A = this chain, B = another copy of it.
Amino acid sequence: MAATAHFSTKDRILGAAEELFAQFGFSGTSLRQVTSRADVNIAAVNYHFGSKENLVNEVFRRRMDEMSAHRLSALKAALEKHPGELEPILAAFVEPALAIAQDRHGGAAFVRVVARAYAEKNDSLRKFLSDHYGHVLRDFAKAIAACVPGLSKEELYWRLDFLAGALTYAMADFGLIKRPSGTAEKAHRERAARELIRFAAAAFNS
């Protein structure tokens, strides 16, 4: 695969799916659109991915791996450069998520699938998430606990849940706040991150 400049059938499907999911949403994209854009036969999807749902999961896994890596390296940097400070830890959690969410290339599809993973209570998907990315949350919980020693473990986890909810909501751009048409997407995202970090810092410190 490194020996050729051509993309494989599988990669072309992934790329086309990612673009179309971002533009039209998950259920708004048909496999026929995907395979037409990728210039492959309709049956190739089921050959390479088994099902449409699994194709979505594969698109999702790519982003999640990337986001988790960014979160962990940002956490490491935050602990080294700002030991004992809460906000840099929260920034390490929030910023990679919002960056991925607003990435042009498939970010919107990623957001949709993240939320689905929870909403569907799909146990195998939940297990996949917990198995592959649970250690990330645990690292953040430990780092936050060290900054806010008065917090019980139960309260800590409740608040992490609330932060995750607010973050997911912000990622999906679901709320009242709409980006003013004059504002660049990047500036809007940075504003969202800054606001959420301050919000969460105040809440964790209470």
Contacts and interface: CB of A to CB of B under 8 A. Distances in A.
Interface of A: 25-27, 108, 111-112, 115-116, 118-121, 123, 126, 130, 134, 137, 155, 157-170, 172, 174-177, 191-192, 195-196, 198-203, 205-206
B177 A157 contact: yes
B134 A121 contact: no
A206 B196 contact: no
Nearest to A162: B166
23 contacts: A25-B119, A115-B119, A118-B119, A118-B172, A118-B174, A119-B174, A121-B172, A121-B174, A130-B176, A137-B176, A157-B176, A159-B195, A160-B175, A160-B176, A161-B166, A161-B177, A162-B169, A163-B166, A164-B175, A165-B170, A166-B166, A166-B169, A203-B203
- Majority secondary structure of chain A interface residues (helix, strand, loop or mixed): helix
A118, A119, A196, most chain B CB atoms within 10 A: A119
A112 B174 CA distance: 14
Nearest to A201: B206
Given A137-B176, A172-B119, A199 B195 contact: no
